[in-house]
Protein backbone atom coordinates (compact mmCIF):
# COMPACT_ATOMS: atom_id res chain seq x y z
CA UNK A 1 0.00 0.00 0.00
CA UNK A 2 1.36 3.40 -0.99
CA UNK A 3 1.02 6.43 1.29
CA UNK A 4 2.20 9.99 0.66
CA UNK A 5 2.68 13.38 2.20
CA UNK A 6 3.42 16.66 0.45
CA UNK A 7 5.99 18.95 2.05
CA UNK A 8 5.57 22.30 0.23
CA UNK A 9 8.01 24.47 2.16
CA UNK A 10 10.23 22.27 4.29
CA UNK A 11 12.71 19.57 3.55
CA UNK A 12 11.41 16.89 5.94
CA UNK A 13 13.23 13.97 4.36
CA UNK A 14 15.64 13.35 7.23
CA UNK A 15 12.98 12.89 9.92
CA UNK A 16 10.83 10.67 7.69
CA UNK A 17 13.93 8.75 6.61
CA UNK A 18 14.83 7.99 10.23
CA UNK A 19 11.30 6.70 10.94
CA UNK A 20 11.32 4.66 7.73
CA UNK A 21 14.69 3.01 8.42
CA UNK A 22 13.69 2.06 11.97
CA UNK A 23 10.46 0.45 10.76
CA UNK A 24 12.13 -1.19 7.75
CA UNK A 25 14.77 -2.81 9.96
CA UNK A 26 12.23 -3.86 12.61
CA UNK A 27 10.20 -5.65 9.92
CA UNK A 28 13.26 -7.43 8.51
CA UNK A 29 13.50 -5.39 5.31
CA UNK A 30 10.32 -6.26 3.36
CA UNK A 31 11.33 -6.53 -0.33
CA UNK A 32 8.75 -4.05 -1.68
CA UNK A 33 9.09 -1.52 1.14
CA UNK A 34 10.62 1.75 -0.01
CA UNK A 35 10.70 5.49 0.61
CA UNK A 36 10.76 7.59 -2.55
CA UNK A 37 10.70 11.30 -3.27
CA UNK A 38 9.05 13.29 -6.03
CA UNK A 39 10.76 16.69 -6.15
CA UNK A 40 8.76 19.75 -7.14
CA UNK A 41 11.62 22.21 -6.70
CA UNK A 42 13.72 23.54 -3.85
CA UNK A 43 12.28 22.45 -0.49
CA UNK A 44 9.07 21.29 -2.16
CA UNK A 45 8.53 17.57 -2.51
CA UNK A 46 6.16 14.69 -1.99
CA UNK A 47 7.39 11.65 -0.11
CA UNK A 48 5.86 8.25 -0.79
CA UNK A 49 6.21 5.16 1.40
CA UNK A 50 5.20 1.63 0.43
CA UNK A 51 3.91 -0.19 3.51
CA UNK A 52 3.30 -3.95 3.70
CA UNK A 53 0.36 -3.48 6.12
CA UNK A 54 -2.22 -0.70 6.51
CA UNK A 55 -1.81 -0.57 10.29
CA UNK A 56 1.76 0.70 9.83
CA UNK A 57 0.41 4.04 8.58
CA UNK A 58 0.43 5.21 12.22
CA UNK A 59 4.24 5.33 12.01
CA UNK A 60 3.97 8.16 9.45
CA UNK A 61 1.78 10.98 10.81
CA UNK A 62 0.21 13.17 8.16
CA UNK A 63 0.60 10.58 5.38
CA UNK A 64 -2.49 9.46 3.45
CA UNK A 65 -3.16 6.60 1.08
CA UNK A 66 -1.93 7.19 -2.46
CA UNK A 67 -1.75 5.80 -5.94
CA UNK A 68 1.55 4.47 -7.24
CA UNK A 69 4.11 7.30 -7.40
CA UNK A 70 4.85 8.77 -10.82
CA UNK A 71 7.91 7.84 -12.84
CA UNK A 72 10.87 10.05 -12.04
CA UNK A 73 10.84 9.54 -8.28
CA UNK A 74 14.13 9.00 -6.45
CA UNK A 75 14.74 6.12 -4.03
CA UNK A 76 15.72 7.43 -0.60
CA UNK A 77 15.67 4.08 1.24
CA UNK A 78 14.41 0.56 0.80
CA UNK A 79 14.78 -2.25 -1.65
CA UNK A 80 16.77 -1.22 -4.74
CA UNK A 81 15.65 -4.21 -6.82
CA UNK A 82 11.96 -3.50 -6.22
CA UNK A 83 12.54 0.18 -7.01
CA UNK A 84 14.29 -0.65 -10.28
CA UNK A 85 11.49 -3.02 -11.31
CA UNK A 86 8.80 -0.42 -10.58
CA UNK A 87 10.37 2.86 -11.66
CA UNK A 88 13.30 2.26 -13.99
CA UNK A 89 12.78 1.15 -17.56
Residue-wise pLDDT tens for the chain (89 aa)?
999 999 887 666 778 999 999 999 999 999 999 999 998 877 789 999 999 999 999 999 999 999 999 999 999 999 999 999 999 86
Q: How many domains does the chain have?
A: 1
Give me the domain span that covers residue 77.
2-87
Q: What is the dihedral of CA 55, 61, 64, 68, to 10 degrees?
A: -80
Task: Decide: helix, strand or coil at residue 54.
Answer: helix
Nearest to 13 by CA among 48, 58, 51, 57: 48
Amino acid sequence: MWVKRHFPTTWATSSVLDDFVQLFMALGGPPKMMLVEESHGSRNSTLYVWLPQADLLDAFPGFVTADVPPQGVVLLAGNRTSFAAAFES
